[in-house]
Amino acid sequence: MESLKGKTAWVTGASAGIGAATARALCSEGAHVLLSARRTDRLAALAEELDSAEVLPLDVCDAAQVKAAVAGRQLDVVVACAGLARGLDLIQDGNPEDWAVTLDTNLKGVLHVVHAALPGMLQQGHGDLVLLGSVAGRQVYPAGNVYNASKYGVRAVYESLRMDAGGKGVRFTTVDPGMVQSEFTLARLGDPEAAAKVYENMQPLTPQDVAEAVLFAVTRPAHVNIGEIVLWPTCQSSTRDVSRDS
């Protein structure tokens, strides 16, 4: 395991869930962590908890804001975690405004982070750029439609990074989890009872499980690039099939 001491890690979507867990994991191994999200109160609370952290509030949908936040900084690790989904409408019944928010955050937001961070990483000749994808970017599921499209897009960004910028010292990784118990589902459904039922009688992944996968990838020796990590709960066999306890 390579040390993260003296390195700077930037995590977007750091106010909750996988992003917050990833920030904790990176900081626990010695990294100075830059915390980005829209909810500044949560970022401030997390920064207080960590040994070495800095708050950089931003909305990943705003390209200029993202670029300005890290201008002139050396970034050794970048983890693009910001993401969301809105509703479970069939595509023929969907809300184009929800589609726009999903694509702007999950796909364009990732591109904005890549565009802000990658030139400097290439110039310094090293670094880790990790994209938080999903098994939904590998298999569609009923009523997943635009969320699926956004995560297939993240996978395409990852493959494009390898084609366009691979072999120059920067490592690219996509981490694609299955069902993770976090605020994501509540934000998607807007109903605490409905969100709780999603995880009823099954053991989903935790944000910490995913954070450990990210940490594993970015602490390999410099000549090793863990390109793709797919994590499923043991009880989940596909994006639509989950074995539940009776």
pLDDT tens-place string over residues 53-96: 999 999 999 999 999 999 999 999 999 999 999 989 999 999 99
Tens of pLDDT, residue by residue over 113-149, are 999 999 999 999 999 999 999 999 999 999 999 999 9
Is 241 a domain residue? no
Give me the CATH number covering residue 132.
3.40.50.720
Q: Does residue 1 belong to any structural domain of this protein?
A: no
Terminal-residue alpha carbon distance, the chain: 41
> Which residues 6+ apart lie within 8 Å of 129 measured at CB?
78, 80, 114, 117, 118, 121, 161, 170, 171, 172, 173
- Domain residue limits at 220: 8-231
Q: Is 218 within a domain?
A: yes
Helix (H, G, I), strand (E, B) or coil at 128: strand
Residue with tokens 């937001």, as numbered in its chain: 109
Known catalytic residues?
147
Q: Is residue 123 in a domain? A: yes
Q: What distances in angstroms separate CA 83 from CA 102, 216, 235, one per listed residue? A: 8, 21, 24
